[in-house]
Amino acid sequence: MTPLTRYLPILTWGKTYQRDTFVSDAVAAVIVTIMLIPQSLAYALLAGLPPEMGLYASILPLVAYAVFGTSRALAVGPVAVVSLMTAAAIGNLGLTSAAEIALAAGTLAFISGALLTVMGVLRLGFLANFLSHPVIAGFITASGLLIATSQLKHILGIEAHGHTLPQILGALAAHLGDVSLATLVIGVAATGFLFWVRKGLKPLLLRLGFGARAADIIAKAGPVAAVAVSTLAVWALGLQDAGVKIVGAVPQGIPPLTLPSFSPALWNDLFLSALLISVIGFVESVSVAQTLAAKKRQRIDPDQELIGLGTSNIAAAVSGGYPVTGGFARSVVNFDAGAATPAAGAFTAVGILLAALLLTPLLYFLPNATLAATIIVAVLSLVDLSILKRTWGYSKVDFAAVAATILLTLGFGVEIGVSAGVLISIALHLYATSRPHVAEVGLVPATQHFRNIHRHKVETLPHAVTLRVDESLYFANARFLEDYVSARVVCDEPLSDVVLMFSAVNEVDLSALESLEALNHKLKDMGIRLHLSEVKGPVMDRLERSHFLQELTGEVYLSQYDAWVALKR
Amino acid sequence: MTPLTRYLPILTWGKTYQRDTFVSDAVAAVIVTIMLIPQSLAYALLAGLPPEMGLYASILPLVAYAVFGTSRALAVGPVAVVSLMTAAAIGNLGLTSAAEIALAAGTLAFISGALLTVMGVLRLGFLANFLSHPVIAGFITASGLLIATSQLKHILGIEAHGHTLPQILGALAAHLGDVSLATLVIGVAATGFLFWVRKGLKPLLLRLGFGARAADIIAKAGPVAAVAVSTLAVWALGLQDAGVKIVGAVPQGIPPLTLPSFSPALWNDLFLSALLISVIGFVESVSVAQTLAAKKRQRIDPDQELIGLGTSNIAAAVSGGYPVTGGFARSVVNFDAGAATPAAGAFTAVGILLAALLLTPLLYFLPNATLAATIIVAVLSLVDLSILKRTWGYSKVDFAAVAATILLTLGFGVEIGVSAGVLISIALHLYATSRPHVAEVGLVPATQHFRNIHRHKVETLPHAVTLRVDESLYFANARFLEDYVSARVVCDEPLSDVVLMFSAVNEVDLSALESLEALNHKLKDMGIRLHLSEVKGPVMDRLERSHFLQELTGEVYLSQYDAWVALKR
């Protein structure tokens, strides 16, 4: 692979692009466009931005991804969680002017895009692995709950701002007297309709004799129908005068050329938020992309994905958009609809461009309540509290990480929630490795295999004890092993030999080496020899570079069985 | 052990306190007092505090440690590195009034003492293990260099402030024209004399026929002699009028009763500094205490040490002192002089109290240059750049941690240096575990032992590959293994079986479990069975709580040899 084809995947798939592929891609693009028009408006509302920014974020970024991305099914654009994080990041700034808010959103997309691109070029995609599955699952669930709750204000037609669950619920409670009945009717009806579309429409259509594919496409158009009907209702009944908040004037035309701010103060304020948005967006996107690629035995390149998403966000920044990433639901729809190459995304961009050119005047009377209903129905599918049950059953450490992530996200907002989740899971992992499991082992009869004396029937030697250390030895547990062995030998008088079985020791760092030297010394004073067994190649290479092996009072045995045979004599 | 004797070690050793022990302790106390008088004044100067605070920090804190501490040789009091950190912490506040600075120093001691005590009660002593040996060695060396450089201004008799090496060197260069010749003569003479005392005096005394012990005590009194001679010289020659800076009036009397500030703003500003001082002070102190205890086959209790040092710092806060900890050189002297119980520290406190009551008027003409010489000679013994060579030879990861700690401490000050050192060593460890070593293994002939096919002559099976994963499987490397195995099997057509040898896998968290499930699925699609071998008890317990074992296409073998025998058929 030349650098050019590595950084421009379009050169690879573009070379063999054919009419068949074009048709598949175009059909998928039509379906995704129908889904994306109301979503892009709704997510812009969620992000606290004017609706046209949602449309703009769905045009140029998709073209950029088509050029630089490696997933053949990923549908890039505004998504719920990143929109919520954008709202939180910009909310922190305390801006009031609409122009400043739009500039901040574009700048956020630019910083985020630059970070992603740099991480891609430096091949730092592996960093995303530090966001564990439980943490991301907990975070997405909590974000879904936060988003759904935050949209209730639009359904009720009241004012209620906040970035945490207590804030939002408090604000809702405080303004409950101001409920707009007309808005509530529209909101509840739209929500009910959309839930029914999601659960009941497709089976109904199938029973009515529609083909599976047609039923699918019609069901996907549900939000568009809700938008159309509620807009017509507002217009016909003049409900905007009855307190129903509407989208209002949306500029008509191609996306504007915008430039991000390069104010150091603004960059400083947005940097951490941009980093979190980048990482969360990348992890969400790459996991969808990998899942979908695996279904067709394709592979995606996580480092190139960083570049694809990075350039998409830079594209959003220069064309009036805000941070984007690959959306879960939309990508699945794109995949199911037959998208075969990233070109499907570019075709979707054309569809949204047409909408921006032609449809915006029709959106004037669109009620915010309908958009809120679209969001609520979309995000509730993200909420999955079963992760709590799964982790509780499997591992209390994972459970603690999930529970903390959910509670902190709900209680203190998305940025604190996800940062704390990552730090907590790393801290719990380090804590566990700092107090490793040590098993005293003996020979399983009639084999050369050694297992824990407390779990298996094994043979032991009276004058020798073998301890299997179940962890790499590094600074965090260096002293632990020294103390453990000292405590073990003190209570056992006739001991002459201690064997440390190193089958699970993958690293011995300098701190641990010094601790082993001290242990060797201490045991020597007590007249006990220290042996090692099953030391792995890479560990042995390193020990040979120190003086430890010369000072070691005992031997290093290739296998634990060799040690057993030698010590039995 | 009752809670009372656990928290009050004095009850244990005090019960059997005898005349012999008293004599040993008293002799050690006299020697340590002689050493501590000039040191306590000098370290207060280093911390940017009035000299009497050094004396006060050497009285009540020593009594508190005698009651609560577990080390029989640790000499608590002001030490160089903690004094430097105190200077940095208080320098950050930008205070100018002497009273405010003294209050901040006392408050720093109080917060630090409270943190240490709480950590002790919660048994969090293990946290200190996260400060690896290379990081602490690098930090102490860099601090020693910073301290020595920072004292050059007193030797030269010029003004030069700064908390980083570039700042200090820049300030020295800028004021080089203001050098005071008289000060320089005193400073250079004192430094030269003290170096000679350290290196040449004892051998000379021995040659002159003094006993080893007497020679030792006389050599320890070197700094006192330097203080006495230089003070007399200034007084006799009136050098204070020739530009020699002197200590001036030091209050005479017992330590004052002081209260720390409880201003939330000040606590907020000092909290992180206090945490760093606590941890560094604890680590330095506990490692000396452990080394000395091991020489006499005694044990110290790290969690009780936290309480001992914590109460010492609280004692410093309420008696006009500043943060203290166990000093390395002083503790070794205390030990060598025969200190048998913590009572030696209490006797030292009496010695310093007498000095505060009687000697302070004599210190009026003591030149700062002499104190600076005392500091320089003391801290240069901390500087040990050989850690760079040791780590370079042993492990590049450890080397990177040391080098970064040294450079960041010199370039950005003590607080950033040590924080970055800890974070870097944790990050490097996590990075290494996120890309684990995976060895393809085969049977060592005529044994039941399996080793790397690239390092040993081993037998393999044509249709089965065994991969030994040399790391616990957790979120950071979950996807790595999946990708590794996929890549390995793709290039090998006739494979029907993959065995993952789990001898080094000490943990499988939920992220890794999901990755294993995905791998099992993927291999199943390719017609390859996945087996596990040598799964440890704790890991197996957990896997049994999931559905993975039911879905696994292959078997779980007790030993790798069992797997070999089964697959050979």
Question: Is B504 within 8 Å of chain A by CB?
Answer: yes
Confidence of residue A492 (pLDDT cuts 50, 70, 90): low
User: Would you state the pLDDT for residue A491?
Assistant: 67
Report the DSSP pairing between strands A438-443 and A325-326: unpaired
Closest to B29 (Cα-Cα) out of A410, B21, B512, A158: B21
Q: Tell me: the pLDDT tens digits for B354-395?
A: 999 998 899 899 999 999 998 898 888 888 888 899 899 898
In this prediction, residues B232-254 reach a mean pLDDT of 90
List the 439-478 stretch of B: residues with Cβ below 8 A of A.
439, 444, 447-449, 451-452, 455, 470-472, 474-478
Pairs of CB atoms within 8 A across A/B: 178
Is residue B11 within 8 Å of residue B4, measured between CB atoms?
Answer: yes
Domains of chain A with CATH codes: 18-402 (no CATH), 438-568 (3.30.750.24)
DSSP of B355-413, one letter per residue?
HHHHTGGGGTT-BHHHHHHHHHHHHHTT--THHHHHHHHH-HHHHHHHHHHHHHHHHH-
The whole-angstrom separation of Cα A260 and Cα A108 is 8
Among A272-276, A329-333, A373-377, B97-101, where is mean pLDDT lowest?
A: A329-333
Q: Tell me: the pLDDT tens digits for B266-281?
A: 999 999 999 999 999 9
Alpha-carbon distance values, A375 to A223, A380, A418 (Å):
10, 8, 21
ipTM of this complex > 0.85?
no
Put simply, the answer to whether A395 touches B503 (Cβ < 8 Å) is no
Residue B468 pairs in a beta bridge with B439, B501
User: Would you state the pLDDT for residue A215?
Assistant: 84
Residue of B nearest to A483 (CA): B299
Confidence of residue A493 (pLDDT cuts 50, 70, 90): low
Share of chain A above pLDDT 70, in %: 99
The alpha-carbon gap from B507 to the nearest alpha carbon of chain A, in Å, equals 9
Put simply, the answer to whether A394 touches B542 (Cβ < 8 Å) is yes
Question: Is B298 within 8 Å of chain A by CB?
Answer: no
In this prediction, residues A245-260 reach a mean pLDDT of 91
Strand order in the sheet with A497-501: A450-452, A438-443, A464-469, A497-501, A529-533, A556-557
Put simply, the answer to whether A134 touches B425 (Cβ < 8 Å) is no
Nearest to A561 among B448, B478, B518 (CB): B448
Residue A76 pairs in a beta bridge with A326
Is residue A79 within 8 Å of residue A46, measured between CB atoms?
Answer: no
Whether A399 shows a pLDDT value over 70: the answer reads: yes
Place of tokens 């440390």: A500
Question: Is A429 within 8 Å of chain B by CB?
Answer: yes
Chain B neighbors of A509, CB-CB under 8 A: 132, 395, 397-398, 429
Is residue B253 within 8 Å of residue B357, measured between CB atoms?
Answer: yes
Put simply, the answer to whether B132 touches A558 (Cβ < 8 Å) is no
- The pTM for the full model equals 0.84
Question: Is A161 within 8 Å of chain B by CB?
Answer: no
The whole-angstrom separation of Cα A41 and Cα A47 is 10
Chain A neighbors of B536, CB-CB under 8 A: 437, 439, 452, 470, 504
Confidence of residue A199 (pLDDT cuts 50, 70, 90): confident
User: Would you state the pLDDT for residue A78?
Assistant: 95
Q: What is the token pair recorded at B387? A: 């850690």
User: Would you state the pLDDT for residue B212?
Assistant: 82
User: Would you state the pLDDT for residue B114?
Assistant: 97
User: Would you state the pLDDT for residue A210?
Assistant: 87
Confidence of residue A482 (pLDDT cuts 50, 70, 90): confident
Whether A10 shows a pLDDT value over 90: the answer reads: no
Chain B neighbors of A538, CB-CB under 8 A: 437, 470
Whether B338 shows a pLDDT value over 90: the answer reads: no
Whether A1 shows a pLDDT value over 80: the answer reads: no
Is residue B383 within 8 Å of residue B145, measured between CB atoms?
Answer: yes
Is residue A342 within 8 Å of residue A21, measured between CB atoms?
Answer: no
Place of tokens 């200590």: B247
Question: Is B130 within 8 Å of chain A by CB?
Answer: yes
User: Would you state the pLDDT for residue B492?
Assistant: 61
Chain A neighbors of B562, CB-CB under 8 A: 449
Closest to A131 (Cα-Cα) out of A274, A273, A279: A279
Among A47-56, A399-408, B159-168, B315-324, where is mean pLDDT lowest?
A: B159-168
Q: Tell me: the pLDDT tens digits for A459-471?
A: 999 889 999 998 8
Whether B126 shows a pLDDT value over 90: the answer reads: no
In this prediction, residues A508-521 reach a mean pLDDT of 90
Put simply, the answer to whether B475 touches A130 (Cβ < 8 Å) is yes
User: Would you state the pLDDT for residue A59?
Assistant: 96
The whole-angstrom separation of Cα B457 and Cα B465 is 16
First to last CA, chain A: 59
User: Would you state the pLDDT for residue A455?
Assistant: 87
Q: Tell me: the pLDDT tens digits for A87-100?
A: 999 988 989 899 99
3-state secondary structure labels for all residues of B292-348: HHHHCCCCCCHHHHHHHHHHHHHHHHHCCCCCCEECHHHHHHHHHCCCCCCHHHHHH
Share of chain B above pLDDT 70, in %: 99
Q: Tell me: the pLDDT tens digits for B65-115?
A: 999 998 888 999 999 999 999 999 998 898 989 999 999 999 999 999 999
Question: Is A544 within 8 Å of chain B by CB?
Answer: no
Share of chain A above pLDDT 90, in %: 53
Cα torsion through B171, B173, B174, B179, rounded to 10: 100
Confidence of residue A346 (pLDDT cuts 50, 70, 90): very high
Mutation to test the B interface, candidates A388, A390, A481, A506, most B Cβ within 10 Å: A506
B429-434 contacts at long range (C-beta below 8 A, 24 or more positions apart): B429/A474, B429/A475, B429/A476, B429/A509, B429/B397, B430/A130, B430/A426, B430/B476, B432/A507, B432/B397, B433/A472, B433/B471, B433/B472, B433/B474, B433/B476, B433/B477, B434/A126, B434/A129, B434/A130, B434/B476, B434/B477, B434/B480
User: Would you state the pLDDT for residue B435?
Assistant: 87
- Average confidence score pLDDT of chain B: 90
User: Would you state the pLDDT for residue A540?
Assistant: 93
The alpha-carbon gap from B333 to the nearest alpha carbon of chain A, in Å, equals 22
Query: At residue A223, what is the residue type?
Result: P
User: Would you state the pLDDT for residue B217?
Assistant: 79
Q: Tell me: the pLDDT tens digits for A441-451?
A: 999 998 888 99
In this prediction, residues A529-549 reach a mean pLDDT of 92
Whether B5 shows a pLDDT value over 80: the answer reads: no
Whether B349 shows a pLDDT value over 90: the answer reads: yes
In this prediction, residues B40-63 reach a mean pLDDT of 94
Question: Is B545 within 8 Å of chain A by CB?
Answer: yes
Whether B505 shows a pLDDT value over 70: the answer reads: yes
Whether A222 shows a pLDDT value over 70: the answer reads: yes
Please provide residue A14's backbone torsions phi and psi, each rounded to the nearest 5 degrees.
Answer: -65, -30
Chain B neighbors of A522, CB-CB under 8 A: 294
Higher pLDDT among residues A315 and B470, named by residue = A315
Confidence of residue B210 (pLDDT cuts 50, 70, 90): confident
Q: How many CB atoms lie within 10 A of CB A297?
A: 9
User: Would you state the pLDDT for residue B293?
Assistant: 81
Q: What is the token pair recorded at B30? A: 């006299």
Chain B neighbors of A477, CB-CB under 8 A: 129
The alpha-carbon gap from B13 to the nearest alpha carbon of chain A, in Å, equals 22
Query: At residue A26, what is the residue type?
Result: A
Q: How many CB atoms lie within 10 A of CB B493?
A: 6
Put simply, the answer to whether A449 touches B451 (Cβ < 8 Å) is no
